Structure 1
Amino acid sequence: MRMIHKYNLASTESPSNRTRADDVYEKIKNEISEFRLIPGDHFTESEISKRFNVSRTPVRQALFRLQSEGYVQVQFRAGWRVQPFDFDIFEQLYDLRMVLEVAAVRRLCDQDRRVDLARLSSLQQIWLVPASERCTDGLQVASWDEQFHTTLVEA
């Protein structure tokens, strides 16, 4: 069964409702997204537990959640493994994103539609800057890129 990763890295839990398992989940997911844990890497619950200074229970809960999303797979008596990327799914997702964004831009261009110019202006302040002022922090740029695509569709 092929799983599609859920690529939204932002937490949806309020700080007061978060559990240790939620925190471990976010940390592992970020490590995968930032390629500190790469496809094919093997690890144990104990290793993650020591790494994040938590008991194995929240680690196990986080790993099963990540497994349900297709990020990791349990290896019988051998720990866990980071799943390889399925580039066919990535390509399909990008094709879908293009269709959605073209439709969103057409809606924005419709003269009868009210557009939230403040939202679009905030994108301009990030993306339309001189080369000397561009951000070189890859994680920040990735976050802004996701924000750009989301704002484009929501506007």
Structure 2
Amino acid sequence: MSTIPPPDRTVRPLIDVIGPPSPETCRRLVVLLKLAEPSTGGARQKIVASADRGQIYVIAFSTGVIKVGQSKDGKRRVAQHRSDSAKHGVSIDHVWVSPLHLNYEGNEGELIAFCRRSGGRVAGGNHQSEYFTGVDFAAVQAFAESLVGIPK
């Protein structure tokens, strides 16, 4: 008479059963966990890779045009705008760049909508929706600072 071995009652981690998740799945999970967290500070903030975060910015050119945008590296992007505008004899009068944060792309959309609601007219350029005339730099900056996810 043969005996049937007892069933394996060991508990194995799920990763051993289905294999490791892809890097993209891990990145999305970290973003979802971060968005669900009520606080933007603390130790958990440090686990979010900088690749998941970016910045929004507001630039006031000497022509009166206001440019709003987003970038993973706001300092570099502002320097690029400064260089490009100088080629056309235009300088930058004021700049505001947010700290790194999640939802920077969504916040850029909110910033664009705010400029439109504030009576801003779209100025010319390749990215017409991001360039405005007739809006106040200080008001746009104050609105940008109030957006969700921007560390205070």
Q: Normalization by structure 2: what TM-score?
A: 0.23
Q: Normalization by structure 1: what TM-score?
A: 0.23
Structure with greater proportional strand content: 2
Kindly name which structure, 1 or 2, has the bigger radius of gyration based on alpha carbons.
2
Structure with greater proportional helix content: 1
